[in-house]
């Protein structure tokens, strides 16, 4: 005689292994999530860490569409990962992460990103200048 198959219905995410450093949102219209990387900043990169942290804080108010905002957030976190990791930043990876962040901000800085907030163009231009002058 065969036992009936057990079916589990969950109302939320289910993890079958350890999960660390992740953020999840479900069953909501919008979500704003922040994550702080509080590792030690590599010597000489303190100003860059401050600038990127401020960019992350101001990014939700820039009025970017979700995909563009997410691209900028990922690029900013890549920069922070490089300069707060346990090892010295890898110049090539840091350069690519900075280029990705500048590229994500470029549509705002040039005024071609639709739906950006008032003052966002100047903010993005200043951010790109700051990112270019630090590394």
pLDDT digits (tens, 9 = 90+) for 107-126: 888 877 766 666 788 888 88
Q: Taking Cα atoms as reference points, which of 128, 2, 4, 118 lies closest to residue 62? A: 118
Q: Work out how many domains the chain is built from and give that number.
A: 1
Domain range enclosing 50: 1-135
Q: Taking Cα atoms as reference points, which of 120, 118, 126 lies closest to residue 102? A: 126
Confidence bin at 49 (pLDDT 50/70/90): very high
Q: What is the pTM of this model?
A: 0.66
**Which pLDDT tens digit goes with each residue over 77-114?**
999 999 997 888 999 999 999 999 999 888 888 877 76
| Lowest-confidence segment of 14-23, 49-58, 92-101 by average pLDDT | 14-23
Q: How far apart, in Å, do the first and last CA atoms of the chain sit?
A: 70
């Amino acid at each position: 005689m065969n036992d009936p198959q057990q079916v589990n219905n969950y109302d939320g995410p289910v993890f079958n292994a350890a999960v660390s450093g992740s953020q999840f949102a479900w069953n909501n219209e919008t979500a704003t999530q922040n994550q702080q990387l509080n590792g030690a900043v590599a010597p000489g990169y303190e100003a860059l860490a401050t600038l990127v942290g401020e960019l992350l804080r101001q990014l939700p108010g820039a009025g970017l569409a979700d995909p563009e905002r997410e691209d900028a957030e990922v690029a900013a976190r890549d920069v922070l990962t490089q300069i707060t990791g346990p090892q010295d930043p890898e110049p090539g990876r840091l350069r690519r992460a900075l280029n990705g962040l500048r590229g994500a901000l470029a549509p705002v800085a040039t005024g071609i990103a639709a739906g950006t907030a008032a003052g966002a163009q100047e903010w993005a231009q200043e951010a790109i200048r700051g990112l270019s002058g630090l590394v």
